[in-house]
Every structure is written in C-alpha cells, then in structure tokens.
Structure 1
Amino acid sequence: MVTLKYLLPLASVLAFGHALEVPMTGVNDWGGRFEGKFVFTIPEEVSGWEAVLHFDEPVTGLTEWMGDVVKTANDNTEYILVSKPHTGIQHVGQTLTITVQAAYSGSAPPTGKGTLVNMAHDGQTVPPAPTVPGTKYNYAEVLEKSILFYEAQRSGKLPATNRIPWRGDSALTDHGQNGEDLTGGWYDAGDHVKFGLPMSASVTLLAWGFLQYADAYEAAGQTEYMYDCIRWPLEWLVKAHTGPNELYIQVGDGGQDHGFWGRPEDMTMARPAFKVDASAPGSDVAGEYAAAMAAGYLVFKDKDPTFAAQLLSNAEEIYKFAVTYKGIYSNSVNQAAAYYRSNAYEDELCWGALWLYMATNKTSYLTEAKTYYPAEAGPDWGQSWDDKGAGCQILMYNITGEQKYKDNIEATFTGWLPGGDIPYSPKGLAFRSQWGSLRYASNMAFMALLAADNGVHTTEYRTWAKSQIHYALGDTGRSFVVGFGVNPPTQPHHRGSSCPMMPTPCSWEAQQHKGPNPHTLYGALVGGPDGSDSYTDSRNNYINNEVACDYNAGFQSAVAGLMHLSMAGQLP
C-alpha cells in the first residue's frame, strides 16, 4: 500500500542531474477519451521512478499500467505516478513508455508533458568536516560519516533531528512477551533484526573510544552527535531490562526477516522478542549489557547525571543476574544461535566487572574480574562481539599495572603483528576471518592504540594500528568505507539503502539492481576482502560487502585514536 506521507516534492530529489522531460506523443482520439504515450530514454541506472504527468486541461479517469497513481492535482491537470516493483528497475539505454488513457471535456485531446524522476537519488549531502594538517586521510570526515551510519541503523520513532532523509519511523510495535515496549535500538546489519549482544558490544567499544579520545570528537565537531549516537542504543538496553533477572536480547526472527527484502518502514512480518531469565540464563549477554551501561555511565555522568544514574543502577542489577544464574545465552535462545552463537561467558563477566569497577570504584568488582580472568591467559584470539579477552587484558593492566597483564597483551600482539600467528594478505591486512575481515583488524587496531597509550610498545603498536586502519581507508587503492575516499563501495548488502525513495515500492528486484544503492550509506565499513585482497562490490556478496553495527565500532574508535595522535603530533 502506498503511504502518501512519504511522497517527496519533485524539487527535493535529483532527476538524472536535470529534469528528464518529454512531450506526450502518439495520441489517439476517441471523442471524449484519448490515449497518449510518454516515452523516456533512460540515461542512467534507475531503481525506482516517479513520473509527473501534466496536461494543459483537466483529464479524468486516467489509467495506465507501468505505475500507480499516488497523487492528483485538485484541478485534475497533474498526476504523480510511482513505479511498480517490476517496472522500477530500468537500465541505461532502455526505453520506458508510460501509456495513459483518460477522458477530456474539450473539443480535442489535451497536450501533455511528463517529467521522470530517478528515485535512486535522495539528495542527501554531508557537510565538510574539519581536517588535521599532515594526515593522509581526513579522520574527522570518517568520524562524521560513521556516526551517520549508526543513525541510518536506528529503529523505532525517529527524532525530529533525524539526518537520514530516506529513513522514517519503523518497528513501532516491537514489544516483549508481556507487552513491554521494545521499540528503538539499532538494526543489526543489512537486515532488520535487533540482536542485543553485538549491539551492546558495539556500544561498549564506541563509549571507550569516546572516553579515551574525546578531544578528537570535539575537534571533528562531532561531540554532541556522538552523545546522541550511543544514547540511542543505551536507552533500548534499559528498556530491555524488564525485571531483576530478566533481559530481552533479540527482537525479530532471522529466518522470517531474511525472507524479506525491503525497507524497515514497510515490514509486516511478525517480530517476536526473546529473553534470558533465571530459568534460561545468558551470563555472556548480561555481562556485555552491564559493560555497555557502565561505560555509558562514565560517558554521561557529567552530561546527564540522571540518565547516568539509571544506567549504573541497571548495570549493577544486570551483572548480579549474570553471575547468579550462569549460562550461555545462545544455548537458552535458539533463535540467536544461528547468527551470534556465543562460545563462553567468562570473558563477558570479567569485562562487565571491570567496567563496573571503573564506574563505581568498588573493589568487589575488581575481585570479580580477577575471578573470571583466565588463570593461564595467553594470546587472545581477537576482540569482537564474542571475545572480550584483549579488552580485559588492557583494562586489567591499566587498572593494576601488574606485569602479568602486560605479558598477556604482548603475547596477544606478538600473534597479531607480522611474523606471528595471524596470516597477512599480500597488501598487508591482518586476516583473522573471512567474514568481516576488516572488523577484526580494526578492533585489534583500537586495542593496540589503547595498549600503546599505556606505554606498551608505543611506537610499534601505533604504527601497526595505523597500517590496518589505513588499509580500510584506501592504502590498497580503494576505500572500504561507503561514501568516503577513492572508489568506495557503492553496493553494500543493506536492504534499506538499496531501496528507492519512498513511496516507490521495494522488493527483491532492488537486490538485483545493477547500479549503486539508491542511498549512500555514509560511513559504513563493509566486511572487507579475502586473504588475497580480493573483493567484489556487490550487494549480493553478503560475506564481503555486508555492513554491521559491530563492524564500525572498533573501527570508529581507532580512527578517533589516530586523529588524537595526529593532533598531538604523535602519529607515527
């Protein structure tokens, strides 16, 4: 069903760089009724169109077969059509013929003209960001655009300050099993499921980077946007804590969701909610929620003390739940296991306790953290939504200064730096895993910067971190960040950005569109290349070209770290 409130004024979108206008031709007159054609030769890839048909006198009873009439001028001289799903995809050089039939009341059929609007252009522009002299890449621009990516992932009722013109309110009926309000939060990736574990893990890394490198955000003019950025998911995490021993950890079923290609605004499928509780525990996800909220408390304690206090109160109660009722969340919630299966919960219990210690200074939390820190800790696999080992090593050393934690950090990076256990691509990417290769390298780049800030192999770790982030920004000859740098991805695997402007229908045809996504998903880091630096920019390539909230978190924080160093004259 077409929703008229989404109809855009003609002037608000770009029509092929100019108005593609043609006269009505091929008129057949049947005395009081006529047929006419508007023939457009397509000059660029189209993934949905709007046609404005104007007549020099009123016509009534207009019918045609290529689109749907969504608006008629009061005097019946102008009709606005939008394409049907199967007619919206038009390729360069094709001819689109809109044939209309209508009644007229004059002595002869009217003359007419048609204007075709390519709904693959949303007109969104991003204001230029400040630059730091002497840097190869504009880190401030990356921070600005990465925050925009998170705004594009918002679910729920959007604020009046929404900066993404192609996003509207969505999933307004998300609720728990007893009707609890679960609207809000972030959609996870290119789909429309809300997964609590990667969402909260992303918040923790973003908050850590904000706390550590606040000067970079301030210099980039992004401080207030960053507060808004992490507040959005934090408010959802609070909503998801519906009882002392109850925590919602997912909204939406992955199977049903992945059977739908379209905008989140158009979803009609059921969106069940899943939770962990005393009888079906999830210490890992609860530990991460607690970490995110404790880190959020540190971010907001001066900015908004009331909100900060709410976060801390929830964090402490959730952590108590996590240690009292132990279990792996994906064993309790089968619907999460196919997408974000957890391997253990001890690292999240250590992680959550460390962040609570930093928020409260209660020694009991540091004792808890040491309890769950592995006794024989060695090299960490790599920081991720499922692995908090490297982060725990760094926080333990930052807090205690004990040599054994420094030894663990060094063991981890001996494995990650060239010559260690991690293979490298020919062009220098530390390749941990095919699925989201840039995510792991970026997360560990952020960890390396944090370790270096505390005096651990300062120059070596900073140099390595810079090499991994610069790989993503363009050192191989192309950018892997949508809307940034040279030859960036244009077809990220992302449903919403692949759809034309509303109200043009969107379905699986949009996935097969040959051109760039109609909307630039500014700032999104794609999964990245394989171990041979091979990469295909195709929205069907979900392994290498999907985007996700956790892909950008460590990456954005590492970029902030590099900008901080460049401002201080300490960038290697």
Structure 2
Amino acid sequence: VEISRHWAGGFNGKFCIPITKELSSWKVHLRFDQPIDSIEVWLATATKVGDGREYILTNKAWNGAEHVGDKLCLEFMGHTKDDIEPGAVVYLSELESTGATHTFPPHTTPVVPTTGGGKPTFDYSKALGNSILFYDAQRSGKLPANNPIKWRGDSALKDGSDVGLDLTGGWYDAGDHVKFGLPMAASTTNLLWGYIQWSDAYKAAGLTDKFFDMIKWPLDYFLKCWIPAKNEFYVQIGDGTPDHHFWGRAEDMTMKRPAYKITASKPGSDISGDTAASLAAGSIAFRSRDPAYSKKLLDASKSLYAFGKKYTGIYSQSVSAAAAFYSSSTYKDELCIGAIWLYRATNDSKYLNDAISFHENAWAWALSWDDKKIACQMLVYQYTLKASIKVEVEGFFNNWLPDSGTVKYTPCGFAWRDKWGSTRYTANTIFISLVAADMGIDTLKYRQWAIGQMDYILGQNSKCFSYAIGFGKKYPLNPHHRSASCPAIPKPCSEDNLHVKTPSPHLLVGALVGGPDSTDAYVDNREDYVQNEVACDYNAGFQSGLAGLVHLINSNNYPVPPTPKCPCKSP
C-alpha cells in the first residue's frame, strides 16, 4: 500500500492487487498499523472493523468481475485527528491461502522530493509579518485596544444602520473605503489556505497570534452579514461612485454607505460559495484554538453554501452597485471552492461530490478574486488523485512557466500577466505553485520558479526595488491609498493630498503595490491607480506565498534559487 500524501487530518493511499483467478465479486482487507477514524474509497464500499485498524472493501454492483491478468487498483483517503503516515497491508480474500500472514512494511517514501541546499535571498518572515500589518491598516469599524496602526482610528461605525443591522467591521477593499464582499472573501480564503498549509511558518516567525487577530476581522464581519433565517446575505457596504469621489480619511467619511444584499429572488452563488469557503477554512484554523467559534463558523458556512447552491445566480447581476467594480463572470468555481472547503472541514463526502460536479475541465487564466478554477482543480485533485485533473493543474502552470506558455515575461524575468495588479497575479501563482509542489507536482521546478518570482517582487531586480512597502531599502512611498496620504488627525485632508508630490505622511507597511509594466518600468506616483494601487486581494496570495517560503526554510527544503536575469547590484 502506498501512502502518497498525508496532512493534519488525513492521508491519501492506493494499492494494486494482481488477479490470478476469475472473480465475479471480491472482498479486500485493508489493514493499518494504527486506528484510522474513517476512509473513503470511490470504487468500493468500505466497512470499518473494530477500532479502525481494518476495513473491508467490497465491490460495487457494477465492478465485481475481475479476470486473470487484471489488476484490482483502488485509491482511498483516510481521515484522522492528527498528521500521520500509517503503515498498511492489503489482501484479497478470494486469493488467500489458508494460514497466510501479513506484516506491515516500513513506511513508504513520500512522493514529494526533498529540495534543500539553497540559501534564502531575503528575510521572508519579515515580509510575512509586514503583510499582516497591511490588513490591520485596512480594518473598518471599532478598532481594538491592541491596534498596531496608530494613524488609524474608528470608522464607519454606522454601517448597516440603513437596514437596521450592525454591519460594522471587515476590511476596506483598497485605497478606498467600500467593503466589497467578493474580493474580501477571496482574500480571506487564500490567507486561511496558506495558514492551514504552512502554519509552522507563522509559528516559527512568532506570528500565529497576529495572524488570528488579523483573520478574525473579516470572519466576524461575514457572520454579521449572513442572516440565514431570512435568506439574506449582505455583500457590499458603500457605493463605489461617491466613495471614489472622496479623498480623505476613513475616519472622516460623511457620505451615505448603503448596504446591499442578495436574496433568494436576487441570488449570488459566487459570493455565497466563496464566503462559505472562508468560513469553512476559518472553522478548520480555529478548531483547536476556539472550538465554539469554529463551530459557529462551520454552521454558517453550511447554511450559506446551501443557500448559494439552491438559489443560483451571479451576484453582480443582482447587485448593480457591484457590477462596475467587481463584476463576476460565473459561479461554478466559487461553489466548487465552497464545497471542497466544507469537505475539508467536515469529511462529509456529499461536499466532495459537489466539488467534483462543479469542477471545470479548462485551463484557468489566473487565480484571482473572480477566477478560482485552478484552486478548485488543485483541491479536488488533492482529494481524488484523478490523473485527468492533474493534467489540468499541470496545464495551468505550464502556461505560466517561461518559454512554454502565454504569460509574458519582462526583460528582467518577471511573469507579467496583466497591467492591473501585475504583482498580484504573479504572487497568487507563487502561492499555488508552492501548494502544487507540496503535492509532488514538479516539486523542484515549481519551488524554484516561485522563489525567483518572489525575489523579484522583494527587490532582486535591476533597481533593487521592493514592491512591498516597508521591505528592503527602496520601496514605494506614495501608494494610491487615501488614509496613508492624509496627515495626522486633526489636520485637514482633501483631494489636494492626492496630488502632493512628497511621500505619504504614513507608511503603509506591508502593502503590495500593483507593480511594474511589461518592460520592468515603474513610477512611484500616488495618482497612478494602476501601478500604485493596493488592495486586500493583492496581498492575500503574496502573504501565503511568503508563508510557503518560510516553511521551505524551516523544513530544510529551500532549493538553490534560480539565477536572476537582472540581479540587484547595489541595494
């Protein structure tokens, strides 16, 4: 029996048994060297024996016939409370001789190769901690006593009052002050995915408590926004048009901030599915830290997902105020994400079946707030090991690798997908390439690619310039961010501050700016909302990618970085 992958809460396994006589039915004995809570087998019926050290696998009604020369091959997933790699043996009753004995072999070698030997280019832990500070700077509502961003204060304390609810909290989307639900959910899911994948990175960097303080802010907000008794989910606070005409502090806003919702008659399966994913992932992260809160998140996730699945539609077609800013293209990918994270949180196979049904056989353009196809494909592959889905995952990354796909590379070797947040798309791909590498898919190639791209973002480029504010010696000082551009309270702030040529009074530590153009050119201009935009979804994959690199260092798997095309020569 080959145990191909294991993680906190489960493992994947597979085996093949040569058939030496004709069979019309079969019964397989799968024995482990320790109790296993439950297993799932897609081509057999599994029955637990005793404490779970043995499972009996019997054929389905349609696959009992086996012929001499065939191989009976089955893949399965085991569920456990801890991260274990059990030993296992398997035999077929019909082929056993009387008195046969079975001993457990030594543990199989993991399929993920070791890739150590490299020296880290940067202090990724510092950049990881800085990114958390950016999210703290994006907080809306009543700030806690331990707020680390001293130039931020309480704001938008009446959000939801127009509908008789408390909808305070959450994150401001970018340099503006609208709370857009879809990118907020996408960001939260990717941040939690990175934490669950590499929690050791946060622990080693001393950032675990800060991460949980950060991530609870949007989760609490989502809980306020979902009203299951009424089938109402509030998906946006604030109108983008008047908001974008205001240049000033969040604390000084006076414009109306309407609350927008989806309902059974005006549905939004996309935002329901993605927010359900955030809540389910949150329930996993908080499971041992705060069991009661974890259960609350999981209950909300289940009901919100069911709502989105039952009442199908695209949220931006139901909420016109969202259409001009975050118009959604489809909802199958978000329902897949919601389902697969619920499966991870519950081990209920109905959610895995849903995820498989929503999965799309297509190469994704990028991982973004709107397009989660590649995330769906990777997570469904993780739990099914279907070769056809692995091909889709490999196809996506092949499209991103140099000299093999359609993604353009700058002269200095930066993967440049689009001008609107060029660093955002690359950072998201860095993150998921590291996850794919952990699955054993082109491990060394993907890890080295991720390191090369992250190093470019952090300053391994001809300008020695970091696109993450506050990291390194040279970085942006003029992000397109209202609050950071305003002087300390009570000094006035207006649109004049947008056009001031001096650096912003406040350093927006950790924010990832939009980044260079396709020629590596970049100008640090506050008025440029293409290259100097910042946003919650820009930092999410970036932060999780950083966690992945810290994990590689901690596990002695950080490979030799690729040779940069335009190395930094004078930091």
TM-score range (shorter-chain normalised) is 0.7 to 0.9
Q: 1:425 is matched with which residue? A: 410
SS in 1 for 2:459: helix
Note the 1:325-340 alignment, pairs <5 A.
Answer: 325-340=311-326
Are 2:211 and 1:218 equivalent residues in the alignment? no
Matches within 5 A, 1:332-411: 332-374=318-360, 377-411=361-395
C-alpha distance after superposition, 1:245-278 (max 9, x if no partner) = 2110000000010111000000000000101111
TM-superposed deviation, 1:307: 0.8
**Of residues 528, 533, 541 in structure 1, which corresponds to 2:520?**
533
Partner Cα separation in structure 1 for residue 450 and residue 374 of structure 2: 14
Structure 2 Cα separation of the partners of residues 448 and 318 of structure 1: 29
| 1:170–1:265 Cα contact (<8 Å) kept | yes
Where in structure 2 are the equivalents of 1:423-572 lying within 5 Å?
423-476=408-461, 477-572=464-559
Residue-pair matches, total = 439
Alpha carbons of structure 1 residues 458 and 259: separation in structure 2 relative to 1, 3 Å = same
CA RMSD of aligned residues (A): 1.2
Amino acid of the structure 1 residue aligned with 2:378: I
- 2:514 partner amino acid: G
* Corresponding residue for residue 162 of structure 1: 147
For 2:382 and 2:357, locate their aligned partners in 1 and report how far apart those are by CA, in whole Å: 17
**1-side partners of 2:456 and 2:234: how far apart?**
37
What SS does the aligned partner of 1:248 have?
strand
1:47 aligned residue = none
Q: 1:158 to 1:456 in 2, by over 3 A?
A: same
Contact 1:446–1:557 at 8 Å: present in 2 too? yes
Q: Structure 1 CA distance, aligned partners of 2:237 and 2:228?
A: 17
SS, match of residue 293 in structure 1? helix
State whether residues 176 and 248 of structure 1, in contact with CA within 8 Å, keep that contact through their aligned partners in structure 2. Answer: no
Distance 1:342 1:316 in 2: 22
Q: What is the CA distance between 1:532 and its match in structure 2?
A: 1.1
Work out the CA distance in 2 between the residues paired with 1:300 and 1:361.
17
Determine if contact 1:285/1:329 at 8 Å carries over to the other structure.
Answer: yes
Q: For residues 428 and 448 of structure 1, what CA distance do their matches in structure 2 show?
A: 17
SS at match of 2:556: coil
Find the aligned partners of 1:390 and 1:243 in 2 and give their Cα distance: 30
Larger radius of gyration: 1
Within 1, Cα distance between the matches of 2:339 and 2:194? 19
Give the match's secondary structure for 2:333. Answer: helix
Q: Give me the whole-angstrom Cα distance separating, in 1, the residues matched to 2:413 and 2:276.
A: 36
Choose the corresponding residue for 1:266, options 252, 267, 277: 252
AA aligned opposite 1:306? A
Deviation at residue 219 of structure 1 after TM alignment:
1.1
- Following superposition, the deviation at residue 438 of structure 1 comes to 0.5
d(CA) in 1 for partners of 2:343, 2:227: 24
Cα offset for 1:135?
1.8
Q: Establish whether residue 413 from structure 1 lines up as the match of residue 400 from structure 2.
A: no
Quote the offset at 1:392 in angstroms. Answer: 0.9
Amino acid aligned to 1:299: A
Q: Which residue identity is paired with 1:548? A: A
Q: Is the 8 A contact 1:190 1:546 kept in 2?
A: yes
Identity of aligned residues (%): 53
Q: Determine whether 1:311 maps to 2:300.
A: no
Contact 2:308/2:335 (<8 A) preserved: yes
Partners of 2:355 and 2:187 lie apart in 1 by 20
Residue type at the aligned position of 1:405: I
Q: What TM-score does the superposition give when structure 2 sets the normalisation length? A: 0.76
- TM-score, normalised with respect to structure 1: 0.76
Task: Say which is worse superposed, 237-246 or 185-194, in terms of deviation.
Answer: 237-246
Instruction: Write the letter of the residue equivalent to 1:545.
Output: N
What do the CA deviations read for 1:521-545 (whole angstroms, capped 9, x no partner)?
0000001111111111011010110
Give the deviation of 1:243 after TM superposition: 2.9
Instruction: Specify the SS of the correspondent of 2:233.
Output: strand
Contact 1:144 1:222 in 2 (8 A): yes
1:338-385 C-alpha deviation (Å, 9 max, x unpaired): 1111000000011110000000111110111111112xx132111111
- In structure 2, stretches of 5+ residues that fail to align are 1-117, 560-571
Match of 1:120 in 2: none
What is the CA distance between 1:177 and its match in structure 2? 4.8
Which residue type is aligned with residue 411 of structure 2? P
Measured in 2, the distance between the counterparts of 1:176 and 1:169 equals: 16
Partner residue in 2 for 1:87: none
Equivalence for 2:70 = none
Q: Is the 8 A contact 1:354 1:395 kept in 2?
A: yes
Shift of 1:134: 3.6
* 2:241 paired with 1:255: yes
